[in-house]
Amino acid sequence: MCASVKRRCELSVAVPASLVSDVPHLREKTFKIGLVGRAAAIFRVDEVIVFPDLLGFDQSRDTRLIAAVLSYMETPQYLRKRLFRLVPELRYAGILPPLRTPHHPVLNRVRDLGFGEYREGVVVSSTNAGSFVDVGVDRSVLVSGVQLSVNSRVTVKIVELGRHLKAVLASRGEVEAYWGYRVRVSDVGFGCLVKEGGFDLVVATSRRGVRFMEVVDELVGRWKEACRVLVAFGSPSVGLFEILEREGLRLGDVVDFIVNMVPNQGTATVRTVEAVYACLGVLNLFVSGL
User: In sequence order, what DSSP letters do the residues of 221-271 get, joined into one string?
Assistant: HHHHH-SEEEEE---SS--HHHHHHHTT--HHHH-SEEEESSTT-SSS---
pLDDT given for residue 2 in this prediction: 53
Distances (CA, A) of 28 to 92, 118, 253, 271: 9, 34, 35, 14
The beta-strand segments (E) located in 186-222 are: 201-211
Whether the Cβ atoms of residue 122 and residue 76 lie closer than 8 Å to each other: no
pLDDT given for residue 145 in this prediction: 93
pLDDT given for residue 16 in this prediction: 98
CA distance 146 to 130: 5
pLDDT given for residue 231 in this prediction: 99
Average pLDDT by stretches of 10, the chain with 290 residues: 81 98 96 98 98 93 97 97 95 96 94 96 96 96 96 98 94 95 97 97 97 98 98 96 97 98 92 96 91
Distances (CA, A) of 133 to 68, 120, 128, 170: 23, 9, 14, 13
pLDDT given for residue 56 in this prediction: 87
* Structural domains of the chain, ranges and CATH numbers in brackets: 10-100+178-287 (3.40.1280.10), 110-174 (2.40.50.140)
CA distance 230 to 205: 11
Provide the phi-psi class of 271: left if phi over 0, else alpha when psi is between -120 and 50, else beta.
beta
Can you name the residues that pair with 177 across neighbouring β-strands?
5
Distances (CA, A) of 222 to 67, 254, 280, 288: 30, 16, 17, 14
pLDDT given for residue 3 in this prediction: 64
